[in-house]
Amino acid sequence: MKAGQIQQDDGIPRKRGGRARLLPGLSVKDGYTKHPFDVEHGVQTSGLVAGRHLGIGQKTDRQITAYYGVAPSVFQSLLRRWQRSKPLAPRKDYTFVDIGAGMGRAMLLAAELPFREVVGVELHPMLAHTAQKNQAVWEMAGRAQSVMRVVCQDVLDFEFPASPCMAFLFNPFGPVVMRRLLAKMARSFAGREGQLDLLYVNHEQESILQRHPGFQCLFAGPVRRSRVDAIADHTIMANQPDGEYAASNYEDCSIWRWMGRTKREPGLDERTTKRES
């Protein structure tokens, strides 16, 4: 902790006087620019925080990628594709789990639909705290159609519920944590074939899933941003002072279903390179 900071029991570094210190990337001098989603709904999910600023002193800190909110249009397009994939149960029976929830933009979007529950799992206390405040705004505005909760926890310690689950990942971490997460999922859903689906945006660790014997790919391909999201994301990236990240008009995504450790039937993969609008 830097000089002039204090730490309260919630794990959030604060300046003298108790005001929370902003993470690098969340101030105007760092290029912070609000996404139209935040402007419209009065929430705080904007900003780009590099992974090197999100460590909390764990051995896996180097596996953290970055914080950035998913484009609403990409999330909604991927969810529509999932709904066409013949899931095991109606959506209302699924628990939506946002892995590496950050400030909770995906949670908010999911909660506009009737899930059994929407859960955000976020390791960093400042991001989790912001997600909880956004949840309160969402519920106060009457936008939440699902029960919501945020847990500040390592996802490797998270206990998946007994209900069917949809896990959402926006490229939250590198290969080491990804392998450990898939191993945990395999244990948690042993004997529960079809009860876990993964929606994976910016799927940098796709090859790990491809090699896993228990997961079946239902879709893999680029999903386009809407014009509004594309303009917003290009503007946000252009405002970053170091130019470390860049935006495109689409995200490479995939959808996976847990089938258990059995031999895969040929022809089940419905892979496509068609770009969605």
- pLDDT, one tens digit per residue, over 190-214 is 999 999 999 999 999 999 999 999 9
Close Cβ partners of 143 (under 8 Å, ≥ 6 residues apart): 41, 108, 111, 112
Close Cβ partners of 24 (under 8 Å, ≥ 6 residues apart): 30, 49, 50, 53
- pLDDT, one tens digit per residue, over 74-121 is 999 999 999 999 999 999 999 999 999 999 999 999 999 999 999 999
Instruction: Sort residue 12 into left (φ over 0), alpha (ψ -120 to 50) or beta.
Output: beta
So what's the pLDDT on residue 242?
76
So what's the pLDDT on residue 276?
45
So what's the pLDDT on residue 60?
87
So what's the pLDDT on residue 266?
42
> What are the helix (H) ranges across the chain?
36-41, 72-83, 105-111, 125-140, 175-188, 206-211, 227-238
Token representation of residue 262: 């059995």
Close Cβ partners of 118 (under 8 Å, ≥ 6 residues apart): 95, 96, 98, 107, 110, 111, 144, 146, 147, 148, 149
So what's the pLDDT on residue 262?
58
Instruction: Write down the pTM of the prediction.
Output: 0.87
By C-alpha distance, which of 61, 35, 62 is closest to 48? 35
Domains and their CATH numbers in the chain: 66-258 (3.40.50.150)
CB 46 within 8 A of CB 33: yes
So what's the pLDDT on residue 268?
42
Q: 240 vs 3, 28, 33, 50, 235, CA distance in Å?
A: 26, 10, 9, 11, 9
The count of other CB atoms within 10 Å of the CB of residue 113 is: 17
Positions of the chain with pLDDT under 50:
1-10, 12-18, 263-277
So what's the pLDDT on residue 274?
44
